[in-house]
Amino acid sequence: RKEVEQDPGPFNVPEGATVAFNCTYSNSASQSFFWYRQDCRKEPKLLMSVYSSGNEDGRFTAQLNRASQYISLLIRDSKLSDSATYLCAGDKAAGNKLTFGGGTRVLVKP
């Protein structure tokens, strides 16, 4: 089993709709989680850090469920520009290294 797993998608989302997807992790000692956005052929860019139960930034909300060992990302009022691959990452037991999931592709369509 991979340490961090994501549904690869794609999630096809109508513009203006809400989409949510999960990231599961196997290392129960992980303390910090991060969502990155990656556009095609570009580098991952930090979207959000999650240290406790969750975080919210505008239309983006992340929720951490430690009991079930998953982190979710919810995007409200989806924009065409939200189309990207979203990578989840978790730390290796409070260390400096991160383990990345394979990414979830989101396609927002008019």
Partner 1 sequence: DVKVTQSSRYLVKRTGEKVFLECVQDMDHENMFWYRQDPGLGLRLIYFSYDVKMKEKGDIPEGYSVSREKKERFSLILESASTNQTSMYLCASSPQLGNQPQHFGDGTRLSIL
Q: Which residues bind partner 1 (CB under 8 A)?
A: 31-32, 34, 41-46, 49, 51, 87, 89, 91, 94-98, 100-103
- Which of residues 98 and 107 has its CB atom nearest to partner 1 in the complex? 98
- From the number of C-beta atoms within 10 Å of its C-beta (0-12, 13-18, 19+), residue 69 rates as middle
Q: Minimum distance between the CB of residue 43 and partner 1, rounded to whole angstroms?
A: 4
Structure letter (DSSP) for residue 76? -
Q: Minimum distance between the CB of residue 66 and partner 1, rounded to whole angstroms?
A: 15
| Separation of alpha carbons 11 and 104, rounded Å | 8
- Which of residues 15 and 53 has its CB atom nearest to partner 1 in the complex? 53
Q: Minimum distance between the CB of residue 102 and partner 1, rounded to whole angstroms?
A: 4
Q: Minimum distance between the CB of residue 18 and partner 1, rounded to whole angstroms?
A: 25
